[in-house]
Every structure is written in C-alpha cells, then in structure tokens.
C-alpha cells in the first residue's frame, strides 16, 4: 500500500527537477538555446528574402518574354489567316477577357470573325427536345454521335456550324441555327449585322472552340460527364465533317494544387482519342498570349490539313506551332468544290492562295507544324 512518504518523495522530486530546469535555463543552457533559435530565425529570414528575390526575378523575366512575344507576334501572324472567315464557339463560363484577346490575335493574322456561337447552360440538359432535333436532322447532314444513333444537340449543332445542308436544302443550316437559338440552346452573333442582313450565306471556313469552366473534377460528376460527352460529340462531328478546328482550354499556366489536374477536360479527351487527335488541333493555355498565338497559327495549319497540339499541359507537342505559310492578300478560302488535290495545287498547275513558292523554283517557305 502506498503511504504518505511515497507522495512526499515524489513531490520533492518534482520540485527539485523544476529547480534544476530553471537554474540550467537561466544559466548554461540559456545562451546556447538563444543562439540556436536566433540563428534559425535569421536563416529563415534570409531564405525568405532569397525566395522573394527569385520570384521577383522570375516575374520580371516572364514579363520581358511576354513583351518580346507581343512585339514579334504581329510579324509571326501576319497573313497566315488572310481572307479566312473564322467562327468562334464559346462554352459556358468562358473568360470574356480571354475571348477578346484571342479574337485580337485572329484579327492580326488576317482572319475575319464573322460568327460567334455561345452555347447555353441548357444545351446539356438531361431531357433534350428530341422532336426538334429529329426535325432539324432531316434538313442537314448530321454526323452520328459517338454513342447511340439518335441526333444530339451537339451533332445537330456540328452540322449547322459546318453548313452541312441536305441536297436541295441550300441554306438549311442558317434556319436550323435560328431554331436552336429560339429553343434557348445557343446564341448566334453575326458580325456586321443580323442573319437577315448577312449577305455571305456560306458557313465559316474554320472554327475555334473556347472551353468554359468545366474542370477535371467537375467532369467526373454526372452532369459534368454529360456536358463533356456532348462537347466531344460536337468536336468529333465537326472533325467528321472536315471543318478545320482548334479546341482551346485554360488552366495550365498556373501551378496545380496537390493532386489537381489543370488540363481542360475537353482538350485532354481530344488528345487521348488518337483518331480525333489526328483530325483536330488543341491549345491548352489560351489564357496566355502564347496560347492565343498558338490558336491562330494552329488554325492556319488546320487549313493545310495538318493537326497539332500546343501548350504546356499533358499531350502537347510544342508550346507553339511552326510558322505556317502566308496566304496571298485578297485570296479567300475556296469552296469545297473548288478545292484542289491535297498537295495544294489544282489540275492546271495553279496554287491554292498560299505564298509558299513565289519564284516557282521549288523552294518553299512551308514547314510541318
């Protein structure tokens, strides 16, 4: 049985240990601990200052490179999209500032943005108007969806954007686009006037798709999976219809959080599909000037039937494409029935509007992307 003496001895031992700690802390150990702590704090401050200087220097270098890129972009882009009528497809949540900057680079390349198509939140709804889609599909050459056989909002929109009219139904794509707009699925903006005042009844020569706010995490949820599937249907349908197309996304310019995938899910899905990746170009950093330039140059290569994948993310070939050929001023993209063989020459030995061999001596300025 523990008696009073045991408790007394334990209490005395505690006070002795406390007294020894106070004496040592105030005496021989004080100076050593203080010096150690002061040294560690000084080292941390120096490291923080060094890291801050490195970040400031990296920011200054990035800004300098961006200014240099801005100054050379005009020369790089000049004439590469001369006479090309460009359409822009915008998914929900796209950054308006990025859109303006992208259109500026397309304009610098000589492209003419004639039609902007804003996709609404409702287009990926779980209960599409099948009667409307079926009726519109009877007037258009609608590509098959990736899954199933019934036309989807995306495949009908692909036929509209491609101007894929059924034989004898010239201009049906314009009427179908108006009906999709009336149904609240898209919003069409015609540059230079309304559709009634728009005298050029041809569809766009080439398209740029601008990704919205669907990220990799959201794409794993049920609604996100449906939205991603429809976006893929649209891209795949445009590829099947032979429309020169660049799909753009954002996110890879910023460092990812732990375990985060910053690559746009639509860009990732296109790159992961080998067949689709051979027919469609992608840019994963369109929020940055280099990505906007890559989109314009990539579109020029798409008109040459050359696809590539650009940016900083997974599956990118290069940050920027190689320089494409320059289009001759005033030469529009030929209609499908006017297009010559794949080598860019017609049966009479003429050219396709590109300045690649002006001397006719076999020396060209064209390089593969």
4-28 tens-digit pLDDT: 666 677 777 777 877 766 665 665 5
Q: What's the pTM? A: 0.76
Average pLDDT over residues 335-348: 40
Give the number of other CB atoms < 10 A from CB of residue 121: 13
Question: With 50 as the cut, is the pLDDT of residue 367 above it?
Answer: no
Question: With 70 as the cut, is the pLDDT of residue 147 above it?
Answer: yes
Residue 349: predicted pLDDT: 40
Residue 53: predicted pLDDT: 82
Alpha carbon distances (Å) from 353 to 24, 112, 202, 303: 90, 17, 19, 12
Residue 98: predicted pLDDT: 95
Whether the CB-CB separation of 225 and 104 falls below 8 Å is answered with: no
How many whole angstroms separate alpha carbon 302 and alpha carbon 242? 10
How many whole angstroms separate alpha carbon 263 and alpha carbon 206? 24
Sequence-ordered list of residues with C-beta below 8 angstroms from that of 171, at least 6 positions apart, any chain = 165, 201
Whether the CB-CB separation of 241 and 164 falls below 8 Å is answered with: yes
How many whole angstroms separate alpha carbon 176 and alpha carbon 151? 14
Question: With 60 as the cut, is the pLDDT of residue 365 above it?
Answer: no
Alpha carbon distances (Å) from 349 to 23, 83, 199, 338, 356: 101, 22, 32, 14, 14
How many whole angstroms separate alpha carbon 53 and alpha carbon 47? 10
């Amino acid at each position: 049985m523990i008696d009073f003496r045991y408790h007394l001895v334990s209490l005395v031992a505690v006070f002795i240990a406390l007294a020894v700690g106070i004496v040592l802390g105030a005496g021989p150990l004080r100076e050593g601990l203080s010096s150690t702590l002061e040294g560690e704090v000084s080292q941390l401050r120096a490291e923080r200052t060094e890291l801050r200087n490195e970040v400031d220097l990296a920011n200054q270098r990035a800004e300098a490179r961006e200014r240099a890129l801005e100054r050379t972009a005009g020369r790089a882009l000049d004439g590469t999209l001369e006479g090309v009528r460009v359409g822009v497809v915008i998914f929900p949540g796209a950054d308006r500032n990025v859109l303006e900057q992208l259109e500026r680079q397309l304009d610098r390349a000589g492209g003419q943005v004639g039609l902007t198509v804003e996709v609404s939140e409702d287009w990926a709804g779980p209960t599409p108007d099948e009667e409307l889609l079926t009726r519109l599909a009877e007037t258009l050459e609608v590509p098959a969806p990736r899954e199933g056989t019934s036309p989807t909002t995306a495949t009908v929109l692909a036929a509209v954007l491609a101007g894929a009219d059924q034989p004898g139904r010239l201009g049906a794509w314009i009427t179908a686009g108006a009906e999709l707009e009336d149904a609240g699925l898209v919003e069409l903006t015609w540059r230079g006037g309304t559709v009634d005042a728009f005298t050029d009844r041809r569809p766009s020569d080439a398209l740029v798709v601008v990704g919205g706010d669907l990220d990799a995490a959201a794409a794993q949820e049920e609604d996100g999976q449906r939205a991603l599937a429809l976006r893929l249907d649209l891209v795949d349908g445009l590829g099947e219809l032979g429309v020169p197309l660049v799909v753009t996304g954002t996110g890879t310019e910023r460092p990812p959080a732990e375990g985060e995938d910053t690559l746009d899910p639509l860009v990732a899905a296109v790159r992961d599909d080998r067949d689709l990746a051979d027919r469609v170009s992608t840019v994963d950093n369109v929020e940055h000037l280099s990505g906007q330039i890559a989109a314009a140059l990539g579109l020029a290569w798409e008109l040459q039937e050359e696809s590539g994948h650009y940016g900083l993310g997974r599956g990118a070939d290069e940050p920027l494409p190689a320089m494409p050929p320059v289009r001759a001023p005033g030469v529009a993209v030929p209609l499908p029935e006017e297009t010559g063989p794949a080598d860019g020459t017609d049966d009479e030995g003429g050219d396709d509007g590109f300045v690649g061999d002006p001397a006719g001596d076999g020396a060209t300025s064209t390089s593969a992307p």
